[in-house]
C-alpha cells in the first residue's frame, strides 16, 4: 500500500471532516452545463462530486483513499445520486482515454498533471481549480512549498485555457476579510 494512501486513509478514517464543494465551484455554479460529464479530481470525501451530480452531471470521483471513496459512496447512495468512484494514485496516465465537460480540482496540487488535465477537457469544457498559495496567512493546508502555488501560478499552468474567473487576494487590503489562503481559477477550453 502506498505511503500516501496510508496517510489519507488514516486522515479520513479518524476525522469528522464534512464534504463541501469548493468555493470557486459553489459561487460559480451558474457556469455549469445542464448536462455532460464531470470529474472531481483528488476528491477526498467528494463535496465537489456530490455538488456536480446534484446539478445533473454524470460524475466521476478519483482519489488515492479507498476510505474516503467508501464514505462518498455511502453519502451519494443515501442522497440518490450516482457517482462513479475510482481509487487511484493520480498520474498523467490516469487520464488516458478520458474526456470531461467539467473538471474540478480542490486543495490538491501536482503540477505534472497540468497537461493531462488540459487534454482531458472536452472542447468548451470548464476547469474549476482552487488550492493553497505560498503566501497564505494561516496554517491551514500544506506547509511544503511543493504543494503551494506561487503568485498567479494557475494563470501560467493553464494559460492554454480562456480565463473565465480568477481570484488571489494575497496580502492586499483588509487581511481579516476574504479567502487569503487560496487561489481560485476557472478556465474554458476553446
Domain regions of the chain by residue span: 3-7+40-132+142-180
Question: In a 3-state reduction of DSSP, which class is residue 12?
Answer: helix
Burial 54-83 (b: 16+ CB within 10 A, else e): ebebebbbbbbbbbbbebbbebbeeeebeb
Q: What is the pLDDT of residue 137?
A: 67
The pLDDT confidence band at residue 169, using thresholds 50, 70 and 90, is: confident
Give the chain's mean pLDDT.
92
Q: Which of 28-37, 51-60, 62-71, 162-171 has the lowest mean pLDDT?
A: 162-171
Rounded CA separation 91/101 (Å): 20
Percent of the chain with pLDDT over 70: 93
How much is the pLDDT for 145?
Answer: 86
Residue 128 backbone dihedrals phi, psi, to 5 degrees: -105, 120
Indicate whether 91 pLDDT > 80.
yes
Q: Classify domain 3-7+40-132+142-180 by CATH architecture.
A: 3-Layer(aba) Sandwich (3.40)
Question: In the chain, pLDDT over 90 holds for what percent of residues?
Answer: 76
Q: What is the pLDDT of residues 35-53, one digit of tens each?
A: 999 999 999 999 999 999 9
Does pLDDT of 161 surpass 90? yes
For the residues 124-145, what does the mean pLDDT come to?
86
Amino acid at each position: 500500500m502506498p505511503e500516501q494512501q496510508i496517510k489519507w486513509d488514516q486522515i479520513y478514517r479518524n476525522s469528522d471532516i464534512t464534504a463541501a464543494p469548493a468555493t470557486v465551484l459553489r459561487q460559480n455554479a451558474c457556469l455549469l452545463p445542464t448536462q455532460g460529464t464531470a470529474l472531481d479530481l483528488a476528491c477526498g470525501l467528494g463535496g465537489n462530486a456530490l455538488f456536480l451530480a446534484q446539478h445533473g452531471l454524470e460524475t466521476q470521483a478519483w482519489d488515492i483513499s479507498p476510505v474516503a471513496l467508501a464514505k462518498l459512496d455511502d453519502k451519494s447512495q443515501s442522497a440518490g445520486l450516482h457517482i462513479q468512484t475510482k481509487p487511484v494514485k493520480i498520474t498523467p496516465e490516469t487520464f488516458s482515454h478520458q474526456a470531461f465537460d467539467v473538471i474540478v480540482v480542490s486543495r490538491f496540487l501536482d503540477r505534472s498533471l497540468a497537461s493531462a488535465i488540459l487534454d482531458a477537457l472536452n472542447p468548451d469544457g470548464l476547469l474549476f481549480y482552487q488550492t493553497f498559495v505560498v503566501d497564505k496567512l494561516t496554517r491551514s493546508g500544506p506547509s511544503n512549498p511543493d504543494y503551494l502555488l506561487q503568485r498567479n501560478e494557475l494563470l501560467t499552468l493553464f494559460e492554454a485555457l480562456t480565463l473565465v474567473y480568477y481570484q488571489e487576494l494575497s496580502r492586499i487590503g483588509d487581511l481579516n476579510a476574504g479567502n487569503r489562503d487560496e487561489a481560485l481559477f476557472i478556465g474554458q477550453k476553446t
